[in-house]
Amino acid sequence: MEILNLEGAEDTPKIILDKNNGIFEISGRSLPEDSAEFYRPILEWLGKYGASPNPKTSFVFKLEYFNTASSKLILDILSKLEDIPGMSVMWYYNEDDEDMQEAGEEFSELVEIPFEFKTY
């Protein structure tokens, strides 16, 4: 499967989705002008991955900041992940960033996926 690799920018996160190497990570800042447009290829990639996933997938979120428009798309991503067997989420937050910790907890309450929380 093709690797999806997006360089991060000031207002968009860095994204690596690599089935063969088992790397699935979204990191950095997410405040794109049009979040639906920005996340569309990621959702499409996950749709294809869901058809023949690895036995286990650990999906890493290591976000420094996301805006409210992105939060809806993050939930869309999580909803896609929810349908993939063997899925787990690693939610990283800066150790003094309670808001990011809480955001992860809220997402974990909205989907049926095991979440692990880690600080960085």
Partner 1 sequence: MYEGEFTQEITKSVLSMAERNMDSIGEESNIKRKVFNVMVECLQNIVKHYEENEAPSDRNHSAIFLIGKHQNEYIITSGNPINLDKVDMLKNKLDQINGLDKEGLKTLYKEIIKNNDLSEKGGAGLGFVDMARKSGQKLAYDFEKLNDTTAFFSLQTTISREPSEL
Chain position carrying tokens 């809480």 = 102
Binding residues for partner 1 restricted to 11-70, rule: CB under 8 A: 11, 31, 33, 36, 65, 67-69
The piece of 17-25, 41-49, 82-90, 102-110 that touches partner 1 (CB under 8 A) is 102-110
Q: What is the Cα 45 distance to its own chain's centre?
A: 12
User: Angle at the Cα of 74 (from 41 to 114), degrees rounded to 5?
Assistant: 115
Q: Which is nearer to partner 1, 2 or 34 (CB)?
A: 34
Chain position carrying tokens 């990011």 = 100
Amino acid identity of 59?
Answer: F
Name the site residues for partner 1 (rule: CB under 8 A).
Answer: 10-11, 31, 33, 36, 65, 67-69, 71-72, 75-76, 94, 96-99, 106, 109-110
